[in-house]
Amino acid sequence: MIRKILLGYDGSASADRAYEFAADLSKRFGAELHVLAVARPPEFGDDVETRASIEHSRRHYERALAALKGRAASEGTAAQFALAVGHPAEQLVRYAEQHGVDHIVVGHRGHTRFDRWLIGSVARQVIAYAHCAVTVVRRNGS
């Protein structure tokens, strides 16, 4: 039985498709829907650059979440929204553990094979470390 669903959301087309899937799953099972966006700090930079980059990223995700909140409300989908700072896969897994989530839904952005090999995908990392079921939603054409 699915009681709590966590959607990893970044505002991309694949994240929008993942939202559609997660919202439908939530309605079918009467499950709580949680939506988490993660502002990722830069790999390199001094403190001033890092803070500025994180602030810029936070504002971006706050706007993306606000738009999704409006969409969810207009569709009658109840959801809880949160924003974290850190590595996306790590933050998604941590949030799921802390909130008793039993199903995580993430989008797949369709990076090239080289990109996936070089940095790994967030979806792949969530699958590897999550304590619960994970669904990866691909957008059409990926």
DSSP string computed for 57-115: HHHHHHHHHHHHHHHHHHHT---EEEEEES-HHHHHHHHHHHTT--EEEEEE----HHH
- The first and second tokens of residue 48, run together, are 């001033």
**pLDDT, tens digit (0-9, with 9 covering 90-100), for 54-109:** 888 899 999 999 999 999 999 999 999 999 999 999 999 999 999 999 999 999 87
Q: Is the pLDDT of residue 111 over 50?
A: yes
How many domains, the chain? 1
Domain span at 40: 4-138
Candidate from 87-96, 105-114, 123-132 with smallest mean pLDDT: 105-114
CATH number at residue 126: 3.40.50.620
Share of the chain above pLDDT 70, in %: 85
pTM recorded for the entire structure? 0.87
At which residue do the structure tokens 């650059």 appear?
A: 49
Tokens found for residue 97: 């553990």
